[in-house]
Structure 1
């Protein structure tokens, strides 16, 4: 990722916040057969370390992705994406102006540790609980004898892993270089119905730039 200090996301807690909010990620390996990419949800292993600057991720892959990635034998890159979207210069009402794309992303690197079947099942449960907890009647992987038996069968088709992140790069480009009056016009345009309506990105631009909420 191209370095740009104006948009660098360097605080560990900011990286963790983006991962929590955007758990669907792309995992990339440079294998002996060439580059391999897959897409899976990741969650933070919040209890893995007492170090606030440590980032540990847990996830799983469906077989045979663990072989395709040669999982555990080399570094893995996991890319998380926050809000993003096209920004039209027509919204700026200044001249000259050019189009751009605002976005937030975190690139996490580390060598994955393969989990045992028991640990993998626990991680699968945590993933399900993480996404089900906000629902009024959350599903549980082992909520009944039938679902418990099914969960124990399907775990054999997956490989769980833990990734202790050894380094990360982050970038958050949210039109920070624009004056307040231009930012206000940009977020108003993103909030309006239309081809580039993007209230999530508008909210993020407001937050990053300290704009008032509407």
Structure 2
């Protein structure tokens, strides 16, 4: 991903927030047969405060990706959406796409069976807990044999990225009034309504306003 200083995204706490809120990622690796991509959910490593993630792949994706042997690229995609030139005012303008994304690269570490089970348990709990009547991984009708067979069909990994390229393109290069117009359009009921992107732009706009106020003080 080509970086632009105006849209560079380097704050670790904000990157952790991006990963936590957008756990469905794309795994990309270069194999002897060419590029391969897979899609899985990941979690931040709860034992770390950096950008280390944990996850799993189903067999034989571990062999296809050369998991643990080759560099893995993890693409995290946050809110994104179309921005109409109509929202910029009367001057010359073209459409664009606003987005938040991060690329994490490194050679992952393969987890032990026990570590993998713990990650699978966390993953189920993370999402199933939102159900009105949650069914956690170890609860009946699942039994120990079933869960063990489930684990054996997967390979867990931990990735501490050695390279991070992240970009937050949220119209930061536009005047405040234009940004407010875009947020309003994305929050409205038009054809490109996108509350998630509007909320991300509001967060960015408020942070920039606070930073400017701090500089002025």
The match for 1:40 is 40
Q: Indicate yes or no: 2:94 matched with 1:98.
A: yes
Q: Indicate yes or no: 2:109 matched with 1:113.
A: yes
Alpha-carbon distance, 1:174 to partner: 0.4
Alpha-carbon distance, 1:60 to partner: 0.5
The match for 2:23 is 23
Assess if the C-alpha contact under 8 Å between 1:120 and 1:159 holds in 2.
yes
Count of aligned pairs: 208
Q: Indicate yes or no: 2:65 matched with 1:69.
A: yes
Alpha-carbon distance, 1:115 to partner: 1.6
Distance 1:22 1:146, change over 3 A: closer
Q: Which moved more, 1:186-195 or 1:38-47?
A: 186-195
Assess if the C-alpha contact under 8 Å between 2:125 and 2:136 holds in 1.
yes
Structure 2: gaps spanning 5 or more residues: 210-217
Q: CA separation in 2, counterparts of 1:129 and 1:10?
A: 29
Alpha-carbon distance, 1:167 to partner: 2.0
CA deviations over 1:177-209 (Å, ceiling 9, x no partner): 111221121112112223211011111111101
Q: Indicate yes or no: 2:19 matched with 1:6.
A: no
Assess if the C-alpha contact under 8 Å between 2:3 and 2:165 holds in 1.
no
Distance 1:146 1:17, change over 3 A: closer
Q: CA RMSD in A?
A: 1.7
Q: CA separation in 2, counterparts of 1:145 and 1:91?
A: 54
